[in-house]
Amino acid sequence: MANRNGTPISTDPDIQAQVQRLQKLMIYGRWLFVGFCWLVIAPVAFLFLQEEISLLQDHFTWATIRYSLEFNPIPSFSIGFCLAITVAVIVGQLTKKVFGLSPREKYQLEQQVQQINRQGRRHPLWRFLHRE
Q: Is residue 52 part of a domain?
A: yes
CA nearest 90: which of 102, 82, 36, 16? 82
**pLDDT score, position 125:** 87
> Across all residues in the chain, what is the average pLDDT?
88
Angle (CA) 124 127 128, round 5°: 95
pLDDT in tens, 49-83: 998 888 888 888 888 888 888 899 999 999 999 99
CA nearest 113: which of 16, 42, 43? 16
Q: Is residue 34 part of a domain?
A: yes
* For range 18-34, the mean pLDDT: 94
Q: Is residue 5 part of a domain?
A: no
Q: Report, in angstroms and rounded to the nearest whole number, the Rg of the chain calculated over CA atoms.
A: 22
Work out how many domains the chain is built from and give that number.
1
Q: Is residue 102 part of a domain?
A: yes
| Cα separation, 34 vs 84, whole angstroms | 10
**pTM for the full model?**
0.80
Whole domain around residue 66: which residue ranges? 13-123
